[in-house]
Amino acid sequence: MLELQDVCFTIRKDGAPVNLIDHISLKVPKGHFMAIVGPSGCGKTTLLKTIAGLNPESSGNLFWDGRNLSQGGDFSPSEIGYVPQFSIAYDPLTVDESVEAATRLRVRCRNTAELDQRIDRVLEEAGLAAISDRTVRVLSGGQKRRLGLAMELVSDPKILLCDEVTSGLDPRSEREIVRLLHDLSRKDGRIVLAVTHSLAHLELYDSILVLHEGCLAFHGPPEKLTHYFSVRDSEEVYPRLATQTAERWQSSWQKHGESYFHMLERNREVLIASGSLQLPASGEPPASHAAPTAEDPTAEDPTAEDPTAADPAAAAATPTTPPPAPRAAPDLLPLPGFCSQFATLLSRRWRIFFRDRGQVFLQLAILLCFPILVTLFSDKASGNIRRFSDTRQSDISAEIQEQQNVRGDQAKVGSAVSGIIMFQVVLLALMGSNNSAREIAGERPIYEKEKFGGLRPAAYLASKIAFLSCLVIAQSLWMAFFVNFFGQFRGEFFQHAGFLLLVNAAMTAICLAISSVMRTAEQASLLSIYLVGFQLPLSGAVLALPENIEVFTRPFISAYWAWSGSVESLQTQVHDAVKSVIDTSLSVQTSCLYTLFAHIGVALIIAWAGARRPQWD
């Protein structure tokens, strides 16, 4: 049984506390299908998220199967399923692949046969078996809602929470989804709570819960809804609610709630006797409602004046039943291990990548075009640098001419070499931004949903690192070898390639961190592009910054450390030529290495913190 005792969810608005959920008490037995309805902004989704544990209750107690969740932790991931309004599947995947990934992430199966059996059963229950090979992007709205349900059913949840899963559907699809939810509530004593704006198909629900400004205005059989609110049609309920304050509706309900709860119990007994409702072997004993007893609700207008209507404090002080004795948690389906979740996520990420033709084309275009851009300027860096003669010139004019020639060669070659190195560094920084700016933020709703279902943030972040590492290695080494093939690097090539790899990895990690803390992919992409844009001017490779500014900016500029380390790996003569044309100090290679590794490490720590932090809309 699910029980709420005086549950509140409070926020602060303009410095004052506001109850979005205001002292709600109710009991929902196993095998029950309940609709949560009410005007927009009345707290329906907030109540659902409070039950799920996404919004921690500010006061009151929430009991599930004899356990006080307000004191002893949340639901186990396998106990609860939460179906949000948005799609929770990746468009490039098929229905079968989506359900298979959800199963591998949430349930530890002993072998492939057990996995296949569970997937087939869930597809059949959700009515998706005939279209299991279709990609998600071609599904209709109703089919996507069924897929969302199927991905929650893989763990056999005992309580299923559905948030506006019928919104935006045509009447036929809406009825099919409501009928499916009704059928799901009749198996194994599963509780199904559905938030909906629609007041159609109410006869399919066991009970209707009406909220008004966060207060409980009604909870009873659907056939009693119109009588309680003294209206002829259910569509008139919302206008009727607006005629009185939420506090008066709540206090009125507390006078009549007990009798309506007894009606629900009698209806439930009829369903059990007829065999329409299948409960677990242990069953569930009858329970009394939290509200005080009252006269028959049909004998009194619920909107009539009563002593508590003008006193909200009295309504909040309504006595509740004593909390049930604590009960041990039942045996639950074990979650897959870290390695299993990691392998599933990485396999799925590569599958999505290769099926996204636009992304594949973009990566190939970047991989081919960026090195070609660099090689267009490689000839300028291959020129000879004349040396000073060992013997002193007797002619002063000849000596001056020699100095001018040497310095001219140094300026020409040094400027070209420095520019080409920085060009490579900035292009790889741009690649890093493109790699990861949208990687987490772009799939945040799906990730939050999977994390709620038991996905380990460590496995998720590790799969991202593994995927991005492959891109970084391919991009960096291809850039280094391609440019070196058309114009040899005049120094230690492998050191240069190492710094190119590190700057790409650093920017990829930094943009992954940005992606983990931003709420939208657009925000993450914009900030990442700005970060890359500031790399060149703040590096000091083109124009030296004032020393009082440089000391603060340089530690954070990955491009500077990769450029500086690569310059230090040049041949002596070429290195001197570069130093003759730049007006900034260079750091030793060990400092460059340590700093770039520090950038990567700090960025991954931030990404880890961002991945762990809940960011539900």
Cα angle: 433, vertex 436, 440; to 5 degrees: 140
Q: How many Cα atoms are found within 13 Å in the side-chain-facing hemisphere of 395?
A: 4
CA 258 from centroid of its chain's CA atoms: 41
- Read off the tokens for 97: 């692949």
**Spatial distance between the Cα atoms of 216 and 125, rounded to a whole number of angstroms:** 33
Q: Name which of 26, 9, 7 is nearest 209 in CA terms.
A: 26
Q: Please state which of the ranges 168-172, 430-434, 438-442 shows the lowest mean pLDDT.
A: 168-172
Region 558-580: what's the mean pLDDT? 84
pLDDT above 60 for 312 = no
Phi-psi region of 6 (alpha: psi -120 to 50; beta: other; left: phi over 0): left
Q: Look at 333 and 223; give whichever has higher pLDDT.
A: 223
**Spatial distance between the Cα atoms of 399 and 108, rounded to a whole number of angstroms:** 81
Q: What are phi and psi of 602, to 5 degrees?
A: -65, -40
What does the pLDDT read at residue 214? 92
The rounded radius of gyration (Å) of the Cα atoms in the chain is: 33
Q: What is the torsional sign of CA 309, 314, 315, 319?
A: negative
pLDDT above 70 for 355 = yes
Q: What are phi and psi of 7, to 5 degrees?
A: -80, 130
**Spatial distance between the Cα atoms of 548 and 260, rounded to a whole number of angstroms:** 75
Region 207-234: what's the mean pLDDT? 93
> Which residues lie across from 163 on neighbouring strands?
195
Of the pLDDT bands very low, low, confident and very high (cuts 50, 70, 90), residue 378 is confident
Cα angle: 187, vertex 189, 190; to 5 degrees: 80
Q: Name which of 149, 186, 193 is nearest 45 in CA terms.
A: 193
Give the burial string for 49-74 (b: 16+ CB within 10 Å, else e): bbbbbbbebeebbbbbbebbbbeeeb
Cβ pair 91, 137 in contact under 8 A: yes
Q: Look at 318 and 202; give whichever has higher pLDDT.
A: 202
pLDDT above 70 for 283 = no
pLDDT above 60 for 295 = no
Distances in Å between the alpha carbon of 270 and those of 184, 266, 267, 297?
A: 18, 6, 5, 21
Tokens 């966060």 found at: 214
What does the pLDDT read at residue 311? 42
- Read off the tokens for 369: 């075009």
pLDDT above 50 for 317 = no
The mean pLDDT of the chain is 85
What does the pLDDT read at residue 247? 92
Q: Are strands 191-195 and 159-163 parallel, antiparallel or unpaired?
A: parallel
**Spatial distance between the Cα atoms of 454 and 456, rounded to a whole number of angstroms:** 6
> Which residues lie across from 3 on neighbouring strands?
27, 63
- 572-579 vs 396-436: helix crossing angle, rounded to 10: 90
Q: What's the N-to-C CA distance of the chain in angstroms? A: 28
Q: What are phi and psi of 108, to 5 degrees?
A: -90, 105
Region 469-493: what's the mean pLDDT? 90
Q: What share of the chain is helix, strand, coil (3-state, %, to 5)?
A: 55, 10, 35
SS3 per-residue string spanning 84-150: CCCCCCCCCCEHHHHHHHHHHHHCCCCCHHHHHHHHHHHHHHCCCHHHCCCEHHHCCHHHHHHHHHH
Cβ pair 234, 199 in contact under 8 A: yes
Percent of the chain scoring above 70 in pLDDT: 84
Write down the pTM of the prediction.
0.85
Q: Look at 588 and 474; give whichever has higher pLDDT.
A: 474
Of the pLDDT bands very low, low, confident and very high (cuts 50, 70, 90), residue 49 is very high
pLDDT above 80 for 289 = no
Region 55-81: what's the mean pLDDT? 87
What does the pLDDT read at residue 409? 60
SS3 per-residue string spanning 566-595: HHHCECHHHHHHHHCCCCCCCCCHHHHHHH
- The dihedral over CA atoms of 491, 495, 501, 502, expressed in degrees to the nearest 10, equals -120
**516-565 confidence digits (pLDDT tens):** 999 899 999 999 999 988 887 777 666 666 777 777 888 899 999 998 99
What does the pLDDT read at residue 272? 86
**Spatial distance between the Cα atoms of 562 and 565, rounded to a whole number of angstroms:** 5
Of the pLDDT bands very low, low, confident and very high (cuts 50, 70, 90), residue 574 is confident
Q: Is 325 exposed, middle or buried (0-12, 13-18, 19+ CB in 10 A)?
A: exposed
Q: Is 536 exposed, middle or buried (0-12, 13-18, 19+ CB in 10 A)?
A: buried
The answer for residues whose C-beta is within 8 angstroms of residue 358's C-beta and 6 or more apart is none
**Spatial distance between the Cα atoms of 182 and 513, rounded to a whole number of angstroms:** 43
Q: What is the torsional sign of CA 354, 355, 361, 363?
A: negative
- Read off the tokens for 43: 């707290």
Q: Is 272 exposed, middle or buried (0-12, 13-18, 19+ CB in 10 A)?
A: middle
Ranges for all domains in the chain classified under CATH 3.40.50.300: 2-79+157-316
**Spatial distance between the Cα atoms of 63 and 46, rounded to a whole number of angstroms:** 18
2-79+157-316 belongs to which homologous superfamily?
P-loop containing nucleotide triphosphate hydrolases (3.40.50.300)
Residue 309 per-residue DSSP state: T
What does the pLDDT read at residue 310? 39
pLDDT above 70 for 69 = yes
What DSSP element (H or E) covers 33?
Answer: strand 33-37
**Spatial distance between the Cα atoms of 402 and 407, rounded to a whole number of angstroms:** 9
**Spatial distance between the Cα atoms of 356 and 369, rounded to a whole number of angstroms:** 20
What does the pLDDT read at residue 119? 96
The letter for the amino acid at 132 is S
**Spatial distance between the Cα atoms of 505 and 4, rounded to a whole number of angstroms:** 49
- Read off the tokens for 245: 């304050």
What DSSP element (H or E) covers 496?
Answer: helix 493-517
Distances in Å between the alpha carbon of 223 and those of 2, 44, 206, 516?
A: 23, 21, 10, 48
Region 263-281: what's the mean pLDDT? 83
